[in-house]
Structure 1
Amino acid sequence: MVLEKWFRSILLLVGIFTNALGAFVGVNIGTDVSNMPSASDVVAMLKANQITHIRLYDANNHILEALSNSGIEVIVGLTNEEVLGIGESPSAAAAWVNENVASYMPSTNITAIAVGSEVLTSIPNAAPVLVTAMNYLHKALVASNLNYQVKVSTPQSMDIIPKPFPPSTATFNSSWNSTLYQVLQFLKNTNSYYMLNAYPYYGYTNGNGIFPIDYALFQPLASVKQIVDPNTLFQYNSMFDAMVDATYYSIDALNFSGIPVVVTEAGWPWLGGANEPDATIENAETFNSNLIRRVLNDSGPPSQPNTPINTYIYELFNEDKRTGPVSEKNWGIFFTNESAVYPLSLSSSNRITGNSSVVFCVAKDNADSDKLQEGLNWACGQGHANCNAIQAGQPCYNPDTVESHASYAYNDYYQNMRSVGGTCDFQGTATTTTNDPSYGSCIYTGSSNLTTGGGITPTPAFGPVSPEGGSMKLPVSELQSLIAATFLALILL
């Protein structure tokens, strides 16, 4: 009994610690790759690039072994070919969990099992046993005392939502309602999450020109002023947000709530055939760079603003062995020689460190307050500035003035976007300065004055640095909470 209470207390601490670190961007690793690097080289590469969350499409034993003691969080995959067998046999599920999960834990940090990949649209004949397979796997985890650490879910594509826009009227394809109701009931009962594969690339290329490409790439819209859901009046600045919200509304239509959506696949191909003109290296770099910035804003879509959209980029390497069009083989962000396909910032902003001369973007003194408010709204909306620090209770909220809040938002946008043409203007309400505007525990993006005094610590795009990869700093308030939780856990033993 004492050991059980200790185990539960540790799990509580893990949950508190993980939540304190905010949203993350992970990476999918497919293995239909010629000249695939060794598992140990792959893991070394993940560490070097501060990638702390990955998804595997199977339970690759070499990679799982190499991940031992790395701290990297792993979603292991049950392949589509395995779903039928597992769904027909609880003993087969128990054997699979013992072989592919329990035998690697706790040294390998497995956090979830993805049951198949887009089962409803790719192998619909397995739909009748999908939830049965999920239940069998969960029961096997319970038997191994791993159900608190390892969640079970099943990734589905946007194809099961026939009309995703406007999001507020989106519903799942009614032919799958019975199965999806069971899936959602399972996720709710086990405190798991909905796995969504969301591809604005396909939303755009298959959309017959309904939406501009800038909307798919998280870029400011030039051809139309804004895209608004006419029922809720929510403004959608990206197709990605609209897809995630369409999923939340579809879940709600089946009378479920409180089930978070995690995007298990999102990306953009960097090379395509003659009939795939939008699969370019420029578009891929733009999409993934903006995706990282969007996710690390630590906010949700308009209908769920306080639920971050944790996301896994598709994918680490080009899977050149895949069949299909040219684009199918060219989604990777790295070549197998470990060089990057295109520059991809691994941090939430292009912070300047060392002895560089830092230029900040701030609101002009006596600027028109209405224009400042417009600029602030744009920066925190379409501009995708990280405006968490100026929310009530956060370190940059006071002084609670539009000028102060605009300065913080303007600067965050400028530091992130100036390398790709972003300017410090905002209808003439902004100006640059070499004077660091940071004060107290409010630390501006770009400042070298990063302390533990409550400011915001830079976060790698793919998740916080694990202890093995370097020190991991938390704001004092969060650190105090963690210490308090640890003390409480010890008392409960």
Structure 2
Amino acid sequence: MASLLLHLLPLAAMAAQDAFVGVNIGTAVTDMPDPTQVVALLKAQQIRHVRLYDADPAMLTALAGTGIRVTVSVPNQQLLAIGQSNATAANWVARNILTHVPATNITAISVGSEVLTTIPNAAPVLVSALQYIHAALTAARLDSHIKVSTAHSSSIILDSFPPSQAFFNRTWDPIMIPLLKFLQTTGSYLMLNVYPYYDYMQSHDAIPLDYALFRPLPPNKEAVDSNTLLHYTNVFDAVVDAAYFAMSYLNFTNIPIVVTESGWPSKGDSSDPDATLDNANTYNSNLIKHVLNNTGTPKHPGVAVSTYIYELYNEDARTGEVSEKNWGLFDSNGRPIYVLHLTGSGSMLANDTTNQTFCVAKDGADRKMLQAALDWACGPGKVDCSAMVQGAPCYEPDTVAAHASYAFDAYYYKMAMAEGTCDFKGVATITTTDPSHGKCIFPGSNGSNGTFINGTLLAPSSNSTSSVSALKSPDIVPPQLGSIRGV
């Protein structure tokens, strides 16, 4: 009995924890924002968990001090070397982990990605690679804080429905059994990439679209596992439970699952007719709400299935079909691809209009302080103030307060709404009331015709340099606004 309880502890621990939603950060982007801009976007969107496909030192440095929980990865091309040499693994940990912790909150390492299905020649050294990385963490006394695993494609699961009959491709038993033993012994979890989009596309209409998108189904449309009589209302839960059953087939019943990738493309060509903005919005919005509700799955109700959305940015530099380039929540300039429907699901991903904020001049603020802050924003702050020159949409009303409000909001969004970027020596304040008027559309407004630059929304750009000088008052020197981050 004691042994049984010990084996059930990992799932019991997961059941006691709240599930989280994180994002993957791919870098196949033509104009990839620099790490500080990426982190500003993460903070503005209140994203507290990220997964990287490498251990980029600049990105890890930018994440230092944020508290954001980071999963780093050993790229597939480094796997063979690490899996064949304990010293190489130790050097990798020293270089990529020890130099960044504890300032950067690294909590997991994914050793390779979809190794069994993408680079099967490296499969024989996969478990060794995990063991060597873990040994190096143990030597540094970090093994209790940083978990080691490897991300799998869900295609390693055969006969995934009904879930109770699912099993791993037995070709991989010599790898999977010692791998699962490693995860069990170290208290780690199975990393699984779950893509209902591909399951739906490959089913040739056998899977209803609503079932793939988490849309409500009438009871007679729910999928029922005839062996367990468990009811499934979505593909995601069915695939996760199939993995649980596949592990139990190999006598492992205590290893939690974390979904390392899941999402839906927002654009495709004629071969991907269901890669649409509406479907991507529906899937990711419903996925986030489903995970954060802590409902678990039919097999393990209440057991957290934390999930990383694929992905933060559209990766326009990826090869392949149009849909391969359009999985992101944001474009490379930080513009939301669509506004997620997350009412009542917490504060993560503030591109939801229910959490929309603006930065404006504070009522009653000193006029000279406002003018100085306006001068700074349009000068050193590098805000495009051309919308406020005479004859432009935001020239009227021609007051310092009105012009300052526009400039403040432009800077606020330029800095991705990061904490401290709406202060301006105390003359600015955050509001949820859209200050747009007439043809003057503020940067934070959904109706904006502006352009996002480096993760932020700015007014339409102009080649004219007269806008800044026209707004400056020569007798006021712009202050050093030390309270504004990035200054």
Fold similarity call, TM over 0.5: yes
Q: How far does residue 18 in structure 1 lie from its aligned partner after superposition? A: 10
CA distance in 2, matches of 1:224, 1:171: 27
CA distance in 1, matches of 2:38, 2:346: 26
Q: State the match for 2:89 in structure 1.
A: 93
Q: How far does residue 211 in structure 1 lie from its aligned partner after superposition? A: 1.2
Kept in 2, the 8 Å contact 1:212–1:223? The answer is no
CA distance in 2, matches of 1:127, 1:119: 6
Q: State the match for 1:45 in structure 2.
A: 41
Kept in 2, the 8 Å contact 1:317–1:334? The answer is yes
Instruction: State percent identity of aligned pairs.
Output: 53
Alignment of 1:182-201 (within 5 A): 182-201=178-197
CA distance in 2, matches of 1:344, 1:225: 26
Indicate the larger mover: 87-96 or 223-232: 223-232
Q: How far does residue 189 in structure 1 lie from its aligned partner after superposition? A: 0.5
Gaps of 5+ in 1: 1-15, 352-465, 470-493
Q: State the match for 1:461 in structure 2.
A: none
CA distance in 2, matches of 1:19, 1:281: 33
The number of aligned residues is 341
Alignment of 1:419-458 (within 5 A): none
TM-score normalised by structure 2 residue count: 0.67
Q: State the match for 1:327 in structure 2.
A: 323
CA distance in 2, matches of 1:218, 1:44: 31
Q: Of 277, 282, 303, which residue of structure 1 is paired with 2:278?
A: 282
Q: Of 111, 118, 123, which residue of structure 2 is paired with 1:122?
A: 118
Q: Of 337, 344, 347, which residue of structure 1 is paired with 2:340?
A: 344
Alignment of 1:106-117 (within 5 A): 106-117=102-113
Kept in 1, the 8 Å contact 2:14–2:303? The answer is no
CA-to-aligned-CA distance 1:47-100 (integer Å, 9 cap, x gap)? 000000000000011110000000000000101101100001100000000111
Q: State the match for 2:458 in structure 1.
A: none
CA distance in 2, matches of 1:350, 1:109: 22
Gaps of 5+ in 2: 1-11, 348-417, 422-487
1:275 counterpart letter in structure 2? S
Q: State the match for 2:68 in structure 1.
A: 72
CA distance in 2, matches of 1:288, 1:215: 14
Q: How far does residue 150 in structure 1 lie from its aligned partner after superposition? A: 0.4
Structure 1 pair 203/214, CA: closer, same or farther in 2 (3 Å)?
A: same
Kept in 2, the 8 Å contact 1:28–1:55? The answer is yes
CA-to-aligned-CA distance 1:234-270 (integer Å, 9 cap, x gap)? 0001000000000000010000011000000000000
Kept in 2, the 8 Å contact 1:86–1:136? The answer is yes
Q: How far does residue 22 in structure 1 lie from its aligned partner after superposition? A: 1.1
Q: Of 227, 241, 247, which residue of structure 1 is paired with 2:243?
A: 247
CA distance in 1, matches of 2:176, 2:106: 25
1:22 counterpart letter in structure 2? D
Q: State the match for 1:159 in structure 2.
A: 155
Q: Of 284, 294, 297, which residue of structure 1 is paired with 2:293?
A: 297
Q: How far does residue 17 in structure 1 lie from its aligned partner after superposition? A: 12
CA distance in 2, matches of 1:306, 1:28: 25
Residue 232 of structure 2 aligns to a residue whose secondary structure is: coil
Structure 1 pair 67/345, CA: closer, same or farther in 2 (3 Å)?
A: farther
Structure 1 pair 468/77, CA: closer, same or farther in 2 (3 Å)?
A: farther
Moved over 6 A (4+): 16-21, 466-469
Q: State the match for 2:52 in structure 1.
A: 56
Q: Of 196, 212, 218, which residue of structure 1 is paired with 2:214?
A: 218
Q: How far does residue 25 in structure 1 lie from its aligned partner after superposition? A: 0.4
Kept in 2, the 8 Å contact 1:289–1:345? The answer is yes
Kept in 2, the 8 Å contact 1:272–1:325? The answer is yes
Q: Of 106, 127, 138, which residue of structure 2 is paired with 1:142?
A: 138
Q: How far does residue 178 in structure 1 lie from its aligned partner after superposition? A: 1.3
CA distance in 2, matches of 1:468, 1:197: 37
Kept in 1, the 8 Å contact 2:148–2:188? The answer is yes
Q: How far does residue 221 in structure 1 lie from its aligned partner after superposition? A: 2.7
CA distance in 1, matches of 2:234, 2:265: 18
2:182 counterpart letter in structure 1? F
Kept in 2, the 8 Å contact 1:53–1:74? The answer is yes
Q: Of 228, 245, 260, which residue of structure 1 is paired with 2:224?
A: 228
Structure 1 pair 295/236, CA: closer, same or farther in 2 (3 Å)?
A: same
Structure 1 pair 346/37, CA: closer, same or farther in 2 (3 Å)?
A: farther
CA distance in 2, matches of 1:139, 1:238: 39
Q: How far does residue 337 in structure 1 lie from its aligned partner after superposition? A: 1.3
CA distance in 1, matches of 2:87, 2:241: 38
Q: How far does residue 325 in structure 1 lie from its aligned partner after superposition? A: 1.0
Q: How far does residue 299 in structure 1 lie from its aligned partner after superposition? A: 2.2
Q: State the match for 1:395 in structure 2.
A: none
CA distance in 2, matches of 1:149, 1:40: 25
CA-to-aligned-CA distance 1:253-291 (integer Å, 9 cap, x gap)? 000011000000000000011111010011000000000
Q: State the match for 1:259 in structure 2.
A: 255
Structure 1 pair 245/19, CA: closer, same or farther in 2 (3 Å)?
A: closer
Q: How far does residue 349 in structure 1 lie from its aligned partner after superposition? A: 3.3
CA distance in 1, matches of 2:177, 2:14: 29
Q: Of 297, 311, 317, which residue of structure 2 is paired with 1:315?
A: 311
CA distance in 2, matches of 1:54, 1:169: 33
CA distance in 2, matches of 1:214, 1:201: 11
Structure with higher Rg: it is 2
CA distance in 2, matches of 1:44, 1:20: 31
Residue 155 of structure 1 aligns to a residue whose secondary structure is: strand
TM-score normalised by structure 1 residue count: 0.67
CA distance in 2, matches of 1:20, 1:167: 24
CA distance in 1, matches of 2:230, 2:60: 42
